[in-house]
Structures are given as C-alpha cells and as structure tokens.
Amino acid sequence: MEDKNNANVAMLDLQQLNKNLKDTVYFLCEGIGPRHFSNTLALDNTAMFISEKLKMFGYEVKYQEYEFNKSVYKNVYAVLNGTKSAEDVLVIGAHYDTIKDSPGADDNASAVAVLLELARIFSNIPQKRTIHFVAFTLEEPPVFGTSFMGSYMYAHYLKKQGVAVMGMICLEMLGYFTEEPESQFYPLYFLRWIFPKTGNYIAFVGNRNSKDLIELAKSGFKKATPLPVESICMVKSIPGVTFSDHRSFWKLGYKAIMVTDTAFYRNPHYHTHSDTADKLDYERMAHVVAGLVSSITELANKELADSLSS
C-alpha cells in the first residue's frame, strides 16, 4: 500500500492546497457568514456552494433532506465508487453549520475545506473500497446529541439500507495550531504528562471499538507529512470525546474516529464571534490534507476480506 500512498501524496501541490483551503474558509466565513440552524438561507447557500464544488470535481451530487422545527435541512454527499466493492464503504464527513453569530472558521469551515480538497484529490483516483464524502447539516446545539443531527440521519440511512461501513472519519476543527508553550489542555490533567503541552499537532480520537481504525489511519498519516499526530482511544464519558459527528456512527454500531485540532482544549476562539478565517494556519492545514490522503488510501485499499466492519 505504501507505493500507492506515495503516488497519491507525491502529486499534491501544497501551495495550491494552501490557497484552495484558504479560499473556501474565507468564502464560508465572510461570503456567507454564520450558518446557524435558524439561518436556513445561509445553510442553503452553503449546501449549494458545496454541491457546486463537488460537481466541478466530476461527482454526481445527492441530497438527504429532512425536516426539523418546521424547516427543511439537507446533507450533501457524493460517492466515489470502489473498483472492488460498492457496499463496504468508507465515510468521510464534516458538518457545515455553526453556532449563532459565529463565522465558524475553525468550527467547522476548516473541516469542510479539507473535505472538499479530499474529494477533489480522489475524484480521479478510485480506490478498491467505495468512499462517501458527506457534508453534514445540524451538528451544533440545539440539535447536538439528538436524532436530528445530520450525521445521525445519514448513519441511520446507511443502517436501514444495510450498507456495510468499514469505518467513518469525522473531520472536526482542523485549522488552529500554535507554538505557544503550555497552549494545549486536556480533559484529564494526567494526560498532560503523556501528550504534548504545545498545540501544534493533529489528533485522532476514537473509542475502543475503533482502535484498529485509528491505528491504520494514523500509520498512513505519518507516512505523508512531518506534521505531528497523536491518537487516543477513550471512553465516551470523557468530556470532548463524543463532541462531533462520529458519535452518531458510534450510536449505530459503526466504527468511527474524529480527526481534530482538539477544539476548546486549544483554540480560545471556540464558539465565539472571533472564530475568524485569519486565525487559521493554512500551511499546516495543507499538511493535514496530505496526511489524510495517505490515511484514506490505507483504509480504502485494505483487503476487503479483512474489513474493519463491526
């Protein structure tokens, strides 16, 4: 698998990635603005933007619409059909909504930008396993933790259709990095003696059921970029472990991991009006994309007979 990883990563232009990521984040934050559940126009405009991008990459775009609080919301998704299997799928997802009055640069325009770049890169290089690229609506409060989360709707749809999901990668806040000493915090104090105290790395977070998914994804990531990466498998009761769309897939028995800059354990602008596009590190975000290209290549080409499915 290393040769295929090397080929996929070698073709990447980090400078172009940097520009593309920055353009997307600035458009979402300044061209559209806050994407709160009460602002359905902003959410519709965001869905249209994501859809047009995916179409430009050559995908057939689909919507999953549903009603909440007398309004209609939609997940936007595209499928890259596998060369060996159409059913044993890998899901890559990020939510596109924000809390009220926040432009949501890190949370979660950064992850949407990374999702779109991954979809673009893989558009012309099919893998053995089918990949779903999904932009989820309604992750933030007041919907968070309920069956009206866009990710829950999508995971439930896959379950109902009997689709075998080998794993899900949740992209959540991927743009805030710092070299300030003592800038990284943790839900449990003793973790500061195990993991870095500086917020300059990306984290892979999962539950015990997803341990093998994390190990393979992390191994691939490290092959492609010098950006530091840490991983941890923790119980759901630890604050922050379930704070994104992977929780929906866990609820339905699927293996899933969150890839993140650790959100409020590092970023002081989390869920505020100051979560703006100028705060992000696009050079490091480009390296996140490179690492994830390698991770996804590992996962999407793992022998089908040796699936990670539950």
**Domain locations along the chain:** 2-303
Instruction: Give the tens place of pLDDT for each residue, 162-178.
Output: 999 999 999 999 999 99
Half-sphere exposure of 134 (CA within 13 A, CB side): 29
DSSP secondary structure letter of residue 244: S
User: Smallest Cα–Cα separation from 65: which of 165, 156, 154?
Assistant: 154
What SS3 state is found at 266?
Answer: coil
For the entire predicted model, the pTM comes to 0.95
The pLDDT profile of the chain, 310 residues, written as one tens digit per residue, is 566 655 567 678 999 999 999 999 999 999 999 999 999 999 999 999 999 999 999 999 999 999 999 999 999 999 999 998 666 899 999 999 999 999 999 999 999 999 999 999 999 888 999 999 999 999 999 999 999 999 999 999 999 999 999 999 999 999 999 999 999 999 988 898 999 999 999 999 999 999 999 999 999 999 999 999 999 998 777 878 888 999 999 999 999 999 999 999 999 999 999 999 999 999 999 999 999 999 999 999 987 545 554 4
* Candidates 3.40.50.80, 2.130.10.10, 3.20.20.140, 3.40.630.10; CATH matching 2-303: 3.40.630.10
User: With contact defined as beta carbons under 8 Å apart, do 235 and 209 qualify?
Assistant: no
Q: How many whole angstroms separate alpha carbon 230 and alpha carbon 189?
A: 17
* Cα 223–chain centre separation: 19
268 token code pair: 């002081």
